[in-house]
């Protein structure tokens, strides 16, 4: 039996804590709740970690968050040797905010990179300190200094980042919104979530279920650490926090 979770981070990535009720415990000890602020691993972004606080003040450490039978079923995976809550028990859910905020900044940075490098995306991985985006880009012909400069122009402009929803039919009528070469956004639910950058989405708009900052300025100083050739027509760009080190 699949359970649908009310996914609060889709509308507010800045929620750090919420109350929830336990719906089920799966065969592996994963905890399913009626609502959550925990992002589940998908789209290259790792799932959230954090704690569940019980009424007596004790904590259940959550080591990972994944999806279940559907994308709407969110499973919170406890660390080894944790307490098991009862079905129907009310808990306070609290994410590791410092980690989440780094991932939000980095995920937003990856979107900015796809603006600077407008080529089909063949892969991506978001991490706390070093992320990557792979492009179908036969001959890059640019330096990491060039890309870093253009990224920081977008960051310093402090453009708004927001989400909106479109229908499956609207996406089908606008295939250019899809930047991934190999992976299509999930359809069949009747609506697709877009992450938009700039006033009236003037900078970018693409399907994404992840968490992002509310402005490009929040991304902060970033740079391209490396441009790697991965095959004849593939370039991997690595994004890191901080200014580009001199002499690299």
Type and span of the H or E element at 159: none
| Residue at a domain's end among 68, 95, 122 | 95
Task: Let me know if residue 132 belongs to a domain.
Answer: yes
Q: Which of 51, 73, 95 is the last residue of a domain?
A: 95
| Structural domain count, the chain | 2
Q: Are residues 210 and 120 in the same domain?
A: yes
Q: Which domain holds residue 210?
A: 100-241
Long-range pairs for 138-142: beta carbons < 8 A, 24 or more residues apart: 138/232, 138/233, 140/227, 140/235, 142/227
Residue 168's CATH number = 3.30.980.10
Q: What pTM did the predictor assign?
A: 0.93
Distance between CA 239 and CA 227 in Å, rounded?
10
H helices present in the chain, as ranges: 97-116, 144-156, 168-173
Residues 52 and 116 in one domain: no
My answer on whether 106 and 85 are in the same domain is no
Q: How many residues does the chain have?
A: 248
Is the residue at 246 inside a domain? no
**Is residue 27 included in any domain, yes or no?**
yes
Cβ partners under 8 Å of residue 188, min gap 6: 168
Pairing between strand 35-36 and 191-197?
unpaired
pLDDT (tens digit, 9 = 90+) per residue, 54-92?
999 999 999 999 999 888 999 999 999 999 999 999 999
pLDDT per residue over 137-188, tens digit each? 877 678 999 999 999 999 999 999 999 999 988 888 888 888 887 766 666 6
Q: Does residue 183 form part of some domain?
A: yes
Which one of 95, 125, 144 terminates a domain?
Answer: 95
Q: Are residues 185 and 131 in the same domain?
A: yes
């Amino acid at each position: 039996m699949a359970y649908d979770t009310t996914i609060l981070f889709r509308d507010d990535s800045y929620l750090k804590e919420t109350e929830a009720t336990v719906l089920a415990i799966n065969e592996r000890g994963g905890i399913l709740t009626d609502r959550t602020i925990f992002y589940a691993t998908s789209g290259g972004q790792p799932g959230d970690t954090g704690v569940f606080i019980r009424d007596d003040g004790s904590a259940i450490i959550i080591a990972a968050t994944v999806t279940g039978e559907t994308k709407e079923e969110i499973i919170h995976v406890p660390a080894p040797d944790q307490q098991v809550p009862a079905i129907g028990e009310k808990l306070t859910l609290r994410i590791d905010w410092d980690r989440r905020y780094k991932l939000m900044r980095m995920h937003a940075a990856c979107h900015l990179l796809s603006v600077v490098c407008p080529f089909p995306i063949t892969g991506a991985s978001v991490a706390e300190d070093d992320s990557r985006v792979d492009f179908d880009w036969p001959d890059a012909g640019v330096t990491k200094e060039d890309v870093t400069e253009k990224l920081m122009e977008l960051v310093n402009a402090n453009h708004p980042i927001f989400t909106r929803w479109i229908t499956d039919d609207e996406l089908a009528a606008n295939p250019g919104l899809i930047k991934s070469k190999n992976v299509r956004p999930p359809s069949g639910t009747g609506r697709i979530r877009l992450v938009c950058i700039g006033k009236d989405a003037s900078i970018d708009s693409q399907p994404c279920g992840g968490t992002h900052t509310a402005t490009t300025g929040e991304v902060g100083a970033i740079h391209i650490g490396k441009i790697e050739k991965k095959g004849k027509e593939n370039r991997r760009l690595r994004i890191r926090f901080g200014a580009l080190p001199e002499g690299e």
